[in-house]
């Protein structure tokens, strides 16, 4: 076996699970176009867009969408960007590529909501994959809205 089942599933190659899936939780998010920051965007532009969109963390892309996973070069966290800007460790014109955080975790579009919940236990967002390509961003708040109270 070349690829293990977890890898296949998290990269969106597995068939749909029984019950509600990550795809169900995407709601109004369209596949293929998702909130992101470009590597060359300035710290100030990234912060402004993240605040306007109420996004706390975003993937950083090295190419225009649609992208392949290799073009997702990391992530930026709004509070971290604000902190390094206020501390003088970053200037407003710095490209965000100079201040990257780790890549977001991955979840396959056909994976169960329980799997997504487990992956989101340590972060605010995950990158949703279909057939090995990033297609959407799933926020913890999207998942919370999908679960019954």
For 58-105, the pLDDT digits (tens) are 999 999 998 999 999 999 999 999 999 999 999 999 999 999 999 999
At 32 the pLDDT is 61
The residues facing 107 across adjacent strands are: 128
In the block, residue with structure tokens 């169960």:
112
Q: What is the pTM of this model?
A: 0.88
Main-chain dihedrals φ then ψ at residue 25, nearest 5 degrees: -75, -15
Residues in CB range of 28: below 8 A, 6 or more apart: none
């Amino acid at each position: 076996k070349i690829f293990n089942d977890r890898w296949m599933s998290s990269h969106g190659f597995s068939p749909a699970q029984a019950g509600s899936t990550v795809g169900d939780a995407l709601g109004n998010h369209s596949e293929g176009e998702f909130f992101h920051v470009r590597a060359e965007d300035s710290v100030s532009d990234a912060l402004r867009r993240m605040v306007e969109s109420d996004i706390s963390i975003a993937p950083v892309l090295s190419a225009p969408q649609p992208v392949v996973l290799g073009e997702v070069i990391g992530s930026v966290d709004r509070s971290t960007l604000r902190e390094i800007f206020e501390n003088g460790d970053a200037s407003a014109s710095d490209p965000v590529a100079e201040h990257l955080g780790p890549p977001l975790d991955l979840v396959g579009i056909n994976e169960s909501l329980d799997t997504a919940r487990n992956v989101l236990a340590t972060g605010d967002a995950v990158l949703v994959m279909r057939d090995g390509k990033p297609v959407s961003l799933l926020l913890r708040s999207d998942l919370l809205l999908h679960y019954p109270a």
